[in-house]
Amino acid sequence: MKRMRKSMNWLAVTVALILFVPAAKAQSQNPLSDPEIASVAVTANQIDVDYGQLALKKSHNADIRKFAETMISDHKNIIQQAAALAQRLHVTPKTNAMTQSLLNGETTTMKTLKAKSGTAFDKAYAQNEAAYHEAVVGAVKTKLIPETQNAELKGLLQSVVPLLEHHTMMAKELASKF
Amino acid sequence: MKKFFQIVAVCFSGCLILAGCNNGSNSSTVENSGPQRDTVIIKLMAFTPDTLTVNKGDTVVWINQDIVAHDVSHFPDRAWHSDTLNPQNVFVKVIDDSSSYFCSIHPTMRATVLLKK
Ligand SMILES: [Cu+2]
């Protein structure tokens, strides 16, 4: 358990670094515009859909598959709402440094996950889900929400926070089983 | 199918409004005149109120006002449970016993219905 926590911490730090170092850089330069925030939001959700789809392809564990299905369904739902809101507000999502750094993180993580199988995959997937959600919650709270101009977009991001927090708790509980 | 749900939803909101009025007039007349109807809102990943106290035989209506699907399941064994409730769907149950319940889609969401003593 202790070793487990240690490796979880390590993972969280790694993900936080991947996410926040570029984010912090971007923040010090200039805040994100709403179209850029929309792009980050859609990308961050899509990445977790991708991880979930990989889990459904690779895992035979019932708990992992159920969790992955929930992630796919919840995050697709958010993408839909973000896309609908962006369209209504005439905001076209704009790729930016943070989107790119999220995608780079996904490439690295996908490579690691794809190299594993069986219980080793299940454990790595669950740990990554905990760390990824934790990092995204942090970014949404400390960067995306404060920098969003449009009230409705800000409102959508705020309403997503409890969902991400529950996903984090669920992932931690799941990871503790391995 | 979608229409059916809309009709169901409209019926329920009608019932809820009636139930609401009922409660109002009850307080000035007779107390405990028959089974009551209570509402639990599912929103922002929480059941509100998270502890609901009712009389045996009362009806509880759960309304999913959240942005994702949830369900209402007896904790921990799902001895009774709703179907998956998409946003705006409702679940209705007559309460005969105190019980803890949770969302089996998001097991970290928990709440309780208690019978009045
Ligand atoms: Cu739920």
The reply to whether CATH 3.20.20.70 applies to domain B37-115 is no
With cut-offs at 50, 70 and 90, classify the pLDDT of residue B33: low
Q: Does B41 touch chain A (CB under 8 A)?
A: no
Contacts of A80-83 with CB under 8 Å at 24 or more apart are A81/A156, A81/B67, A82/A38, A82/A41, A82/A42, A82/A45, A82/A156, A83/A42
Query: A172 in a domain, yes or no?
Result: yes
- Centre of ligand 1 to C-alpha B85, Å, is 9
> Is 80 exceeded by the pLDDT of residue A14?
no
Say how far apart CA A82 and CA A52 lie, in whole Å.
20
Is residue A12 included in any domain, yes or no?
yes
B44 Cα to chain A: minimum distance (Å): 6
Asked, for residue A43, whether it belongs to a domain, the answer is no
Calpha distance A41→A48 (Å, rounded): 11
Q: How far apart are CA A41 and CA B88, in angstroms?
A: 24
Dihedral sign, CA of B42, B76, A78, B44? positive
Cα-based distances in Å from A91 to A36, A149, A150 = 9, 12, 10
Place of tokens 């229409």: B3
Average pLDDT over residues A153-162: 97
**Whole domain around residue A107: which residue ranges?**
2-23+49-176
pLDDT at A70: 98
* pLDDT tens track for A112-133: 999 999 999 999 999 999 999 9
Q: Would the pLDDT of B22 be above 90?
A: no
Interchain CB contact of A162 with B (< 8 Å): yes
CA distance A56 to A60: 8
ipTM of this complex: 0.82
To the nearest 10°, report the CA torsion of B1, B2, B8, B11. -130
CATH code, A7? 1.20.1260
Residue B67 to residue A78, Cβ atoms within 8 A: yes
Q: B1 in contact with A at a CB cutoff of 8 Å?
A: no
Whether A139 is covered by a domain: the verdict is yes
State yes or no: pLDDT of B63 exceeds 50: yes
Counting the structural domains of chain A, the total is: 1
Domain contains A60: yes
**B29 Cα–ligand 1 center, Å:** 39
Quote the minimal CA–CA distance from A29 to chain B in Å.
Answer: 33
Q: Which amino acid is at A65?
A: R
pLDDT in tens, A33-74: 999 999 999 999 999 999 999 999 999 999 999 999 999 999
Q: pLDDT digits over B5-18, tens only?
A: 444 444 444 444 44
Specify whether the CB–CB gap between A134 and A126 falls below 8 A. Answer: no
The 8-class DSSP code of residue A137 comes to H
Which among A35, A39, A171 is positioned nearest to A98, based on CA atoms? A39
A40 lies in some domain: no
